[in-house]
């Protein structure tokens, strides 16, 4: 048999290189000093270790990617580090070179047990922990149990853990991590020392990503890193995943990570185009605004991303008007444009603009035709730009520059003949002015039970603007006032002051309706034709009627 058939003459195969590790794993913090944005927690832990005041259970909570599991592993290192010489004790600065530190970092230490509660939810899984915790650590100072997403444990599993958690053996420490601390029973929370890991500020994330790019020998524009940091929403892991994608997106030409490429990759609207679109909204230019929106849509930008960018612009202008610090990733041109808008737009106008765009965002998120819904939302904003400001109108009426037409009710003025200034203005929501309108308003917003209580039980005392005083014809539910106020705030955007008072004598809407029907019945009975019929037929009853005129 020839060598070729046996494969002996095949060329040597290249050795397989080390598998690529994503940035989120490669740059996982290995020391507390590398844990960004959590200085308060690190200080507390350091003081506890130095004073030998270590809790037996720690609960780490926070949004995804802020370092909960990494922190748990660092705590395990800190408690079990023995130093390079093997003589050290617990320290906030683990050496990273001793056998316990290296074994924990590599996930192979026999006394540091990690468990994912999402796949081990039952009481049997917890029972194994309870049984094993009775035995001393094999080689470490402490036996440590790290339970990730602990809120996923079942109720029975939590109950089984309580006794051991309250009085664990001295050699055992529990480290819990969760993104939904509200789902952890209070009985467990009360037995743990809790640390709330904060969202990492975008500025710190951008600095961290710059160091990562330097270590990876990748060029990156500061604006690109700022975009990545903002998209990460306070999560280091999310940001590193996006940065990994951006580096791959940059290709092999050595161009580096560009802001425009990151913007396209994330589906973000171009900031220059967004500023131009915002300017057309402020100026009330409908055709230009719709053309600008369609131009971004044709480039593949999601309509929701356009509205989010406009909301961010309104927020940024408001901050500039308040004189706060510069936002991350903001160019000089953008800053100058925002300063210009801040000098022209009042706070009421900005608040109104925010409400209109936020309402449009919610509508577009549920719309069957997103781009069309976005166009209608922008047209609504532009329509608001053409309306006069109520506050300015009131001042002009008081000063006499606008005349109130004869015969008009008090407080009602004709619209000014001069064209309205092209700026976004505050118009205010239309509020109910009496109980009838209040009940109809609640019915329109599907709050039928509240509308029934308004019609049947509320006796009006005072109804002025967003303030209501009323009496009750019958006992109302304890939380009626709170629910009514919350429903009205949700539907009108205005805070309502609602008070239940004593001594109200006015009729409820239901009583008014009954009185009105009784009066109409009496009027019908008093009419000559019906009176003659009843006189001729004494046993006759009036069981229904249709009112056709003033005399019934």
Q: What is the pLDDT of residue 323?
A: 81
Q: What is the pLDDT of residue 177?
A: 92
Residue 422 lies in a domain: no
Do 130 and 183 lie in a common domain? yes
The CATH number linked to 232 is: 1.10.8.60
Mean pLDDT score of the chain: 81
Do 171 and 29 lie in a common domain? yes
In terms of residue numbers, what domain contains 313?
Answer: 271-385
Q: What is the pLDDT of residue 400?
A: 59
SS3 content of the chain, % helix, strand, coil (to 5): 50, 10, 40
Do 40 and 169 lie in a common domain? yes
Domains of the chain: total:
4
Residue 400 lies in a domain: no
Do 121 and 231 lie in a common domain? no
3-class state of residue 544 by DSSP: coil
Do 175 and 43 lie in a common domain? yes
Residue 517 lies in a domain: no
Longest dimension (CA), the chain: 129
Residue 524 lies in a domain: no
Looking from the CA of 329 toward its CB, the CA atoms found within 13 Å total: 25
Q: Is the pTM of this model over 0.85?
A: no
Work out the pLDDT band at 321, boundaries 50, 70, 90: confident
Work out the pLDDT band at 222, boundaries 50, 70, 90: confident
What is the Cα Rg of the chain in Å?
35
Do 124 and 246 lie in a common domain? no
Q: Looking at 224-238, 335-349, 407-421, 430-444, which range is the least confident one?
A: 407-421
Residue 414 lies in a domain: no
Contact 378, 289 (CB under 8 A): yes
Residue 468 lies in a domain: yes
Q: What is the pLDDT of residue 11?
A: 52
Give which of 497, 441, 443, 449 is closest to 470, Cα–Cα: 497
- Which among 240, 266, 292 is the end of a domain? 266
Do 177 and 29 lie in a common domain? yes
Mean pLDDT score, 149-173: 90
Q: What is the pLDDT of residue 17?
A: 56
Instruction: Report the alpha-carbon distance of residue 302 to residue 308 in Å, rounded.
Output: 10
Contact 242, 202 (CB under 8 A): no
Do 277 and 244 lie in a common domain? no
Do 307 and 444 lie in a common domain? no
Do 294 and 362 lie in a common domain? yes
- Which among 385, 404, 423 is the end of a domain? 385
Mean pLDDT score, 83-95: 88
The 10s digit of each residue's pLDDT in 477-524 is 888 888 888 888 888 888 888 888 887 788 888 888 888 888 888 777
- Which among 196, 216, 231 is the end of a domain? 196
List, in sequence order, every residue forming a beta bridge with 116; answer none if it has no partner.
148
Work out the pLDDT band at 6, boundaries 50, 70, 90: very low
Q: What is the pLDDT of residue 334?
A: 76
The 10s digit of each residue's pLDDT in 120-147 is 888 888 998 899 888 888 888 999 999 9
Instruction: Report the alpha-carbon distance of residue 108 to residue 264 in Å, rounded.
Output: 41
The CATH number linked to 377 is: 1.20.272.10
């Amino acid at each position: 048999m020839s060598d070729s058939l046996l494969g002996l003459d095949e060329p040597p195969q290249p050795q397989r290189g080390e598998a690529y590790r994503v940035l989120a794993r490669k740059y996982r913090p290995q020391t507390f000093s590398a844990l960004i944005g959590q200085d308060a927690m690190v200080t507390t832990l350091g003081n506890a270790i130095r004073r030998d005041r270590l809790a037996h259970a720690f609960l780490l909570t926070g949004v995804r990617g802020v370092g909960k599991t990494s922190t748990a592993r660092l705590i395990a290192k800190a408690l079990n580090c023995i130093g390079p010489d093997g003589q050290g004790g617990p320290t906030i600065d683990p050496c990273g070179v001793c056998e316990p530190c290296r074994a924990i970092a590599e996930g192979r230490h026999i006394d540091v047990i990690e468990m994912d509660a999402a796949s081990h939810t039952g009481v049997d899984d917890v029972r194994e922990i309870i049984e094993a915790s009775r035995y001393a650590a094999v080689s470490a100072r402490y036996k440590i149990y790290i339970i990730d997403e602990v809120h996923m444990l079942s109720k029975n599993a939590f109950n089984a853990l309580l006794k051991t958690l309250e009085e664990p053996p001295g050699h055992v420490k529990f480290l819990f991590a969760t993104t939904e601390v509200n789902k952890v029973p209070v009985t467990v929370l009360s037995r743990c020392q809790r640390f709330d890991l904060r969202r990492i500020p975008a500025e710190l994330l951008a600095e961290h990503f710059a160091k990562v790019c330097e270590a990876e020998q990748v060029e990156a524009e500061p604006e690109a890193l700022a975009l990545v940091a903002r998209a990460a929403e306070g999560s280091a892991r999310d940001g590193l995943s996006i940065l990994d994608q951006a580096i791959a997106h940059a290709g092999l030409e050595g161009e580096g990570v560009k802001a425009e490429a990151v913007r396209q990759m994330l589906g973000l609207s171009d900031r220059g185009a967004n500023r131009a679109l915002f300017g057309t909204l402020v100026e009330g230019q409908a055709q230009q605004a719709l053309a600008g929106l369609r131009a971004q849509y044709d480039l593949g930008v999601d309509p929701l991303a356009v509205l989010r960018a406009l909301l961010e612009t309104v927020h940024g202008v408001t901050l500039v008007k308040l004189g706060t610090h510069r936002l991350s990733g903001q160019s000089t041109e953008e800053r100058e444009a925002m300063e210009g808008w801040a000098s022209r737009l009042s706070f009421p106008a900005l608040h109104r603009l925010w409400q209109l765009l936020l309402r449009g965002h919610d509508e577009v998120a549920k719309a069957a035709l997103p781009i069309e819904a976005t166009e209608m939302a922008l047209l609504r904003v532009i329509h608001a730009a053409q309306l006069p400001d109520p506050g300015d109108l009131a001042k002009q009426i008081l000063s006499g520059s606008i005349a109130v037409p004869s015969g008009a009710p008090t407080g009602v003025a004709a619209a000014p003949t001069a064209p309205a200034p092209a700026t976004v203005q505050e118009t205010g929501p239309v509020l109910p002015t009496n109980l009838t309108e209040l009940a109809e308003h609640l019915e329109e917003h599907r709050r039928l039970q509240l509308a029934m209580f308004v019609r049947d039980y509320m006796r009006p005392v005072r109804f002025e603007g967003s303030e209501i005083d009323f009496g009750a014809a019958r006992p109302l539910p304890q939380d009626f006032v709170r629910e009514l106020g919350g429903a009205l705030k949700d539907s009108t955007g205005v805070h309502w002051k609602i008070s239940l008072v004593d001594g109200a004598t006015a009729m409820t809407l239901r009583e008014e309706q009954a009185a009105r029907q009784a009066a109409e019945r009496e009027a019908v009975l008093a009419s000559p034709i019906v009176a003659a019929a009843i006189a001729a037929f004494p046993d006759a009853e009036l069981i229904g009627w249709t009112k056709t005129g003033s005399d019934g």
